[in-house]
Amino acid sequence: MHLAERDPQPTVDPVTAWRVDRLRNARFSASLAEALARDRNYDLHALLELTDRGCPPELAARILAPLPS
């Protein structure tokens, strides 16, 4: 493969990267952190507050799941 044929590196949204980092530091699994960080309908601060109070990350995500439109 020639250099010109390579796919360009995807740009990483700095806000999403920051959200992933915060969630990972709060013991969210990598896959859950990625999914929640990309979905701006989740309130990051509310997720972190629940886990700070001892709520398991998976349950916090279920509690704060956005209602369907």
Residue by residue, pLDDT tens for the chain (69 residues) are: 455 555 565 677 999 999 999 999 999 999 999 999 999 999 999 999 999 999 999 999 999 999 887
Q: Give the Å distances, CA to CA, from 17 to 22, 29, 43, 53.
A: 9, 14, 15, 24
Q: pTM score, two decimals?
A: 0.80
